[in-house]
Amino acid sequence: MCSLSKEKTTQVTVDADKLRSEIRDKSVKVLDIRKEDDYKQGHIPGAINLPLASLLADDSPEKVLQYAQSFGIGDETSVVVYDDTFGALASRVAWTLEYIGHKDVSLLDITYGTWKKLGLETSSETPSAVKTSHSLKLQPQILATSDYLVPAKEKGAILVDNRERLNFLEQHIPGAINIPYRMLASGQNILRPKDDLKRLMQNRNINADSEIITYCGSVGTLSGLGYYALKSLGMNNVKLYVRSFKEWKSLEKPIEKQNDANYWDLSAE
């Protein structure tokens, strides 16, 4: 996995200015992960719509490969993904592309809502794409399965739950630590600056070489964002438990809970 030859550095996030110039140069494919209706009302110029629900309907590698090829994404194509949901849906798609072996994929560092608020250009035209070919090289080292979790934990892997605090207290995978997805963002950016994130991880005694598995409630979106937050720090041994807590519960595996406290009653929601 670790080759010394050509190591292309892919940025985890791309800022609006860089994306705009890449769009002008036509050197990038942009994916919009919002619902089709929202997309039709306006999107970043040139963006192709891939609603998360469509992907989740069948996220087998073969199907994902089909999507990529139909969008004109080749092995070397730069891809930038965005959404309007904290970057979590975009992260899930980016991870999926990474999993089938696409290396050059980044997240836009703001949501579409912020893009619009900044007054940046939008379009309602649907671009046409020329089909291309893409190879399939699965990257199992970024995927965690339910069977993998327990032995990995025993060997020292850190299990990170990216759901909100109250959900975590209520129930979680035994031994997991909680890094709520809200902690990862700052201001209008979907991820905090690197130094900030680094400090948060150091406070938790998480080191650059730790093995980390992220998970969330159901389909690996919030934990997808967690995955990329860690990747942005240059951590390379990060995995996404993509089927997450929903699967864990359905398998009736052990669950841990913060007992004897009525914390839900503190919420003013």
Partner 1 sequence: MSNTSVSQSKPGNAPTHKVNWGRLEEAERFSELVKQYRQGKISRDDFRRFRLQHGAYGSRMTDDYSMIRLKLPAGEVYAEQLEKVADLSEQFSIGSAHVSTRQNFQLHWVALEDVSEVLRGLAEAGMTTREACGNSVRSIMCSPLAGVCPDEIFDPTPYAVAATKFLLRNPMCQSLPRKFKINFTCCEKHGMARMVDIGLIPQIVEINGKPQRGFKVFLGGGLGAQSFVGHQLEQFTSEDELLHTIVSVIRIFDRLGNRDNMARARMRYLVNEMGWEKFQNLVLKERAMLKMLLSILIKLEVDKTPDVLRKISISSEVPSVPQGFARWKKSNTFKQKQPGFSSVFLTLESGDVTATQLRAIAEMAREFTADGQIRNGFTQDMVFRWVRDEDLPRIYSKLLEVGLANPGALTMASVVGCSGTTSCNLALTNSHRLAKEVQRKFIELKIDEDDDLRNSTIKISGCPNSCGQHEIATIGFYGGGGRLGKDMYPLYTMSLGGRSDEDTTLGHSCTKVPAKRVIPTILKIVEIFKSEKKSGETLDLWIRRVIEGNGGPNIKSLETIKDLLKSVVSAPTKDQDEDFYADYGSDGSYHTKTGRGECAA
User: Can you give the binding site for partner 1, defined by CB under 8 A?
Assistant: 11-13, 15-18, 109-110, 114, 117-118, 164-166, 169, 177-178, 180, 182-183, 185, 187-189, 191, 193-194, 199-200, 203-205, 232, 258-269
Both structure tokens of 45: 């110029």
- Shortest distance, CB of residue 200 to partner 1, whole angstroms? 7
Cβ distance to partner 1 smaller for residue 60 or 203: 203
| Dist CA 167 CA 60 (whole Å) | 29
Q: 186, 189, 157, 188: which is closest to 173 by C-alpha?
A: 157
* Helix H or strand E encompassing 160: strand 158-161
Looking at the Cβ atoms of 96 and 232, the one nearer to partner 1 is 232
Give the pairing of strands 48-49 and 79-82: unpaired
Which residue, 145 or 202, has its beta carbon nearer to partner 1? 202
Which of 128/205 has CB closer to partner 1?
205
3-class DSSP assignment, residue 42: coil
The CA distance from 144 to 247, in Å, is 12
CB nearer to partner 1: give 124 or 186: 186
Q: 181 by DSSP, 3-state: which?
A: helix
- C-beta of 101 vs 180, nearer to partner 1: 180
- Smallest distance from partner 1 to CB 268, Å: 4
- Minimum CB separation of residue 160 from partner 1 in Å reads 12
Minimum CB–partner distance for residue 190 and partner 1 (Å): 9
Say how far apart CA 16 and CA 235 lie, in whole Å. 24
DSSP 8-state symbol, 195: H
**Smallest distance, Å, CB 107 to partner 1?**
10
Distance CA 238, CA 236 (A): 6
Nearest-approach distance from CB 151 to partner 1, in angstroms: 25
Comparison of 13 and 96: residue with beta carbon closer to partner 1: 13
Least separation in angstroms between residue 5's CB and partner 1 is: 25
Q: How far apart, in whole angstroms, are the C-alpha atoms of residue 47 and residue 82?
A: 9
Q: Which contacts (CB < 8 Å, 24+ apart) does range 177-183 have? A: 177/204, 179/204, 179/226, 181/86, 181/88, 181/216, 181/222, 181/225, 181/226
